[in-house]
Chains A and B, each alone.
Chain A
């Protein structure tokens, strides 16, 4: 510790001092040498001791550790020695510090150490001690810098060396010392050694110079020499001890004197190598010859050359490889590391050749098509793009290039005869050229020769019998081949020859034609080039050919003969055997009996014919045949070979020189020009320029059309048009071009010729042969030909390639399959679009793909699968591979599943399944019949069924309506997708101040708990309901003017003793004995016992029976309502077609007691009910209105047998004058649905929205005006109907006045009452009313109201109020009346349309659907409010305070009462009408009507029988025929004023019967309503055993298939 600290302190001093001293020392160097040396010797021993203490251990170990490093460890290991370093340094330090005290101490220590050293000298290792001491001195001499760098590691080495090298050589190591950091000791040494470096160095150099050549071996001697010297030093030290001061100065000079300084020890690299060689093995890097690496006597084998896959070796430098090989060769003797090719075995390079990190692509580069992105601007929300999760607008531009290069006519009407021939010739020549190019004959001949040679060269099958089998077989095969080939060759030869002949013939014809007509039209010329042949060679070849052929044929025949012979022999044997047997039999028979002659005969019959031996073939005949054929087919020997050549070198006769007909022809041709239209998907997209037809009938266009398309191309048609002169163009033909494959791009596509032909007939008056006209070349006109215009268009169609090389092809379907197609096994290896496996295999073979290469493994497998014949290669591409293999179930199974089907159909909202709540979980729980209806409907979709309609026309109409409905629904569904915010979000209005004020005011209002207040019913949305929740409430209040029973006729009275009406009996019972007829009749007249029956959906409810013609029931009836398919959605409810029938019956009681005597003890009566009339209210009206409240006119049949309305009786009673105006029967009732259903958005409300969405052709200004008008009207009177625009059948918005226009009614109607306009009007109204009514809401479920024009309406024969009203209004207009369409609300229809007419100072209101008319002040007029009036040129909105027709003024000229649409500000622009100019009526087929009549009757009869399952239904034919006669009369009089006559007649004819019945009159649309009507009368309900029925139907046909149906039903009971 002390050393170190001191050292640090004095470092700076020392350096300074050192420098100073050094200068001095250099001067004194020589002088002090001696002294210094002594001093050194003094110091070293004592240092040694201390150093031993410090470093001894370390020093000891190092030699051991370094031993293995030493290569030449031959050495004598010296005794352990201690490093002298620290000790020496210490002396130096002590001296140079110049501190006396220290120096004294040092001296003391030195003396001490000296004494110790002296004691040690005699120790067993004196030499090492010396050497160490010397070393220490050596270090003394070192310059400080070097010491500093000396590393510790070197110490060991050096110290080891020290042992066997003498001390004199120490300096040699100094330069060898490598740089390093000093350890503590070294640092210490540095400072201590620094005292006098320079002078010493000089000397050491000298010394080293002297001793540099010394050998290592000398070391020992030197050491021995030095020993005495050291001893001397020791002595000197002792002597110098006394002169301490002088010692320091002299030390330097003394040191070199006794140190031997030698050159640095250096061992040359060669020497080292030489030495190393003995112990080390270093493989050479020389290439090893191959023979050494492979086993003896073997050639290296290169697998790669043999075509085996070896893979790529990892990259190793050549030298390294050589070294390794050399090493292996020596170390491992058995060469297992070497492969067959003499290289070290190596696995293929496992490293991927390309970097895993893909290069960075610049943005500009084209990226893969599927990954393209498109910058889109932030877009405002477009509502109809809400479902664009799929690719929305990826459809880019696609382009189809159509190149039309030209057109060639192969026949044209303007062809002259010569042209015809020329074309024929050209065609033949083309054929000839094609044949020659193929040269089938030559090929076959060669083949034949080759085969013959093969047969000849084969070893003769007869000679070596052993191996003969296979050869004979092959010979046979060859022979067969030869035969086949020969046959083919013969055929080809024949064809060649005939072709040549025809060519020549045509040419001759042409020449003769040219000669005949003395001009030429075509430049066609045929040359026949003759190739002379050597006759002899030819002859020889010919003969040889014939001979060989004959031979072959002969052989063939021989063989055949042989076969036949064999067969013959066999047969002959059989025959012989049979003969033998026969003979034996015969003998037997003869010997026994001769009985079985019959059998014998039969046996004789079976006797086989004795076979005839085949005729052997004569060689000469065969030869004859061959020769003949050869002469026919082949060139005769010596005949020159003819080669035809067609050229266009001929010249055409100029026009001037031609005869007149030809000139005309040419002029005609010149006039004609041709152009082509290009039709894409049947739309013309472009057309070529018009080009004249050349004289050669070729037209060149050379135009390319680029079609930019958006749709997938379906068809591509070129239409060839011809223009003659300035006349019209006519279509010659259509050429259908195929849509190119997606692989055909522009530039790649080849020009193709597409033929066309036209079937038009053209006859020309000049030389032209015409088209489709027979003409002849012969003078006599025989041998006629008919040629049609035909030709070829050369064109090419290809997909264009975009600017960036991307083909502009639409994806295969609208879905983009583009990406998937790219993920293709074949495409991935670079051979894209190879779809043909055979081609692929070929390609693989050609490109010598290595089958072992794992890269190609998938491809190879593909090829093996594809090419091995037995595996089935599908020709389709399967998108999802291996799908089928892993399927759970097949498609069929999936489709068969009833559950899935049900679920699917339910999800599709198919009407039949829409309301299925729960679908069974197992298939077995689903009945098969669930689907029956649906399947039937699907099946029948296309079929017009006449069964339900009875009438073909109506069936067609129904189908048409169905189609219209579907299309409208589709439109509507699309429009429905446009949801507005209000459709989704219900926002309640923020209460404004007035509402708040009102409600606040309400708070302050006085409470009046006793005042009843009406509470509105709660509305229930229909969806949540189920069966049974909804009820129909019908409140029947009272009726007026019900017909009363008529007094029975006298005849009836007489016979009806026991069977009198009960009421009668009841009334007369007090005076039973007295036959009081008069009283009876009077009383019975008063009595009618009516009750009301309400039937709805086949549920029937009835009230109690009241009495009298003006009964009051005041009863509430409750009927359940069932929605179709249990679907209570709004849509479904709106489309409920059921009607509510309210029937009024008279209850008649009959006493049927058989015996009067029992009257006292029992009552036996029968109740009969007689139908009096009905009211029919459609459910839809009730649904939309919510409730129906009012008085309705009862439909009473025109004839009601046994009943009459006695005016005088009524007048007795108290009635108001208003009612007397009408002569009907009325019923007051109130109806509603419980619970109150939300009717959904009514059709009309929805329509206004729809109107905006449907497109229109109206003027924009007009539309704006209508909107404005409507808004203004709605503001004033929101409840009044205002209609300005309506939607027509095609869904377009149309201004309403366009519908009104005078239209002629059927002439037939006008002719009926020519002088009575009133009657005519009524008749017309009746006619309109006869057109069946079909509400729009039913036909177009949930869609808007569609207006059809009158002709459409008449065509459809169905429509709702608007159509009826429009038609009626139009008729009235044409009759010269002032008529308006009146929009308003009526009962029970709701919002409806009526017609208003001005007749003789009063307004009449017409109900178009019933044909009735009402005066303006008729209280029973069903129209309750008037919204607007529409004429053909204006619309007036009712702005009067009241809207009831009774209370308003219909004078539209008063602007204060009526707001007109067109006014001075907006004059009427003169809108054209959408109605047709005139209605055409065709008379309806009477026969069809009568047929229909029969069918209806039959159906109704069947139905009535069906309704009476427990009783026999008898039909009274007599009565039926009577009724049938009566019905036409009713039709004629429209049901008026016939009752009495009719009754009289009936009584006359059917006096014995009690008769009840009535005619029903209806418009005919379908059978179902008729059935319903008959059912609702309840005629069939009579269950008297002896009842008979009569039913007659009459169909009256009006023009346009408008049918009026009368049904007369009656029940008859025979009076006893």
Chain B
């Protein structure tokens, strides 16, 4: 019966080797959570930084959850994609971050990674683009053993999220 508002934006991304980035995002919650309003997932525009190296999206996120339990606190998963000069898109990073659990404005930095693939794939990626992607993208946020996954670090996605909690104290959750 408690409520969580998540209001904020995906500010942008830094540190990616590619420019012309865009980001697909989604919120994953446990079964106890119910989305009252807002959109669970979305995609930003493609930003090609003209000045500096940071890609700015300023993509709004506005979600209102009702929950009957703490389990499955919302987590944000991101996919950063890059678009090359031919307009083709390729994956440049998966990232995941929990929505902060304390009320207030939070500035998050979500680091990302991408699967490396075998040498052939790396070679192909370097020359013709594309690249390995996860078949099941929920690996990004589920706790499955992924130590076998060989990854390379991507850049950082910057988020600004304001969290408003309601009624949590009624259920003995201090925040």
Contacts and interface: CB of A to CB of B under 8 A. Distances in A.
Given A389-B79, A888-B69, A375 B135 contact: no
B132 A376 contact: yes
A388 B87 CA distance: 18
A1318 interface: no
Nearest to B78: A389
The interface residues of chain B, by DSSP majority, are classed as mixed
Nearest to B22: A381
A1528 B84 CA distance: 77
Given A373-B132, A819-B138, A887-B32, A367 B148 contact: yes
Interface stretch (A726-734, A761-769, A892-900): A892-900
Contacts of A894: 1, 34, 66, 68
A381 B137 contact: no
B128 A389 contact: no
B80 to A, nearest CB: 12
Given A374-B133, A816-B138, A904 B37 contact: yes
A378 B24 contact: no
Contacts of B86: 378, 380
Nearest to B46: A381
Given A378-B90, A389-B25, A888-B67, A370 B139 contact: yes
A373 B117 contact: yes
Contacts of A882: 71
Contacts of B138: 390-391, 816, 819
B105 interface: no
A366 to B, nearest CB: 11
Given A373-B135, A883-B71, A900-B34, A379 B88 contact: yes
A980 interface: no
A1215 interface: no
A378 B145 CA distance: 28
Contact of B71 (A375, A389, A886, A903): A886
Interface in B54-107: 64, 66-72, 77, 79, 83-84, 86-91
A1605 B83 CA distance: 65
Interface in A370-428: 370-381, 386-391, 394
Contacts of B1: 888-889, 893-894, 897
B15 interface: no
Q: How large is the interface on A (under 10, 10 to 19, 20 to 34, 35 or more residues)?
A: 35 or more
Given A374-B132, A378-B84, A897 B32 contact: no
Given A368-B148, A375-B117, A378-B130, A900 B89 contact: no
Contact of A368 (B25, B36, B66, B145): B145
A387 B41 contact: yes
A363 B148 CA distance: 10
B133 A376 contact: yes
Contacts of B145: 368, 371
Q: How large is the interface on B (under 10, 10 to 19, 20 to 34, 35 or more residues)?
A: 35 or more
Nearest to A884: B69
B87 A819 contact: no
Given A358-B147, A391-B137, A816-B138, A381 B87 contact: yes
A891 B117 contact: no
B40 to A, nearest CB: 8
B38 A907 contact: yes
B124 to A, nearest CB: 7
B36 A386 contact: no
A371 B139 contact: yes
Interface in B120-136: 121, 124, 128-136
A380 B119 CA distance: 24
Given A373-B133, A374-B132, A888-B67, A903 B37 contact: yes
A207 B133 CA distance: 91
Given A389-B41, A907-B37, A375 B121 contact: yes
A391 B137 CA distance: 6
Contacts of A266: none
Contacts of A375: 117, 121, 124, 130-133
A1001 interface: no
Contact of A883 (B26, B30, B117): B30
B8 interface: no
B171 A888 contact: yes
Given A361-B148, A907-B36, A893 B77 contact: no
Nearest to B170: A888
A893 B134 contact: no
Interface string A645-676: 00000000000000000000000000000000
A880 interface: yes
A340 B87 CA distance: 77
Nearest to A984: B45
A903 B79 contact: no
B143 interface: yes
Contacts of B152: none
Interface string A793-825: 000000000000000000000001011101100
B72 to A, nearest CB: 7
B144 A879 contact: no
A906 interface: yes
Contacts of A890: 68
B118 interface: yes
Nearest to B27: A389
B137 A389 contact: yes
B128 A377 contact: yes
Interface in A195-242: none
B122 to A, nearest CB: 10
Contacts of A887: 32, 68-69
Interface in B137-155: 137-139, 142-149
B125 to A, nearest CB: 8
Contacts of A380: 86-89
Contacts of A368: 144-145, 148
A880 B67 CA distance: 14
Nearest to B121: A375
A374 B136 CA distance: 10
Contact of A394 (B38, B132, B135): B135
A889 B148 contact: no
Contacts of A904: 34, 36-37
B38 A387 contact: no
B115 interface: yes
A377 B90 CA distance: 8
Given A886-B69, A886-B71, A389 B77 contact: yes
Nearest to B30: A880
A1493 to B, nearest CB: 49
Contacts of B149: 367, 371, 373
Contact of A389 (B24, B36, B66, B132): B24
Contacts of A897: 1, 66
Given A883-B69, A894-B1, A376 B26 contact: no
B17 to A, nearest CB: 15
Contacts of A376: 90-91, 130-133
A890 B171 CA distance: 13
10 closest residue pairs by CB, A with B: A907-B37, A378-B129, A378-B88, A373-B132, A389-B26, A363-B118, A888-B171, A377-B130, A903-B36, A378-B130
Given A361-B148, A374-B132, 13 more contacts: A363-B119, A368-B145, A373-B117, A377-B129, A378-B129, A387-B42, A387-B43, A819-B136, A819-B139, A822-B144, A887-B32, A888-B69, A903-B36
9 contacts: A361-B148, A376-B90, A378-B131, A379-B90, A380-B89, A819-B138, A819-B139, A883-B71, A886-B70
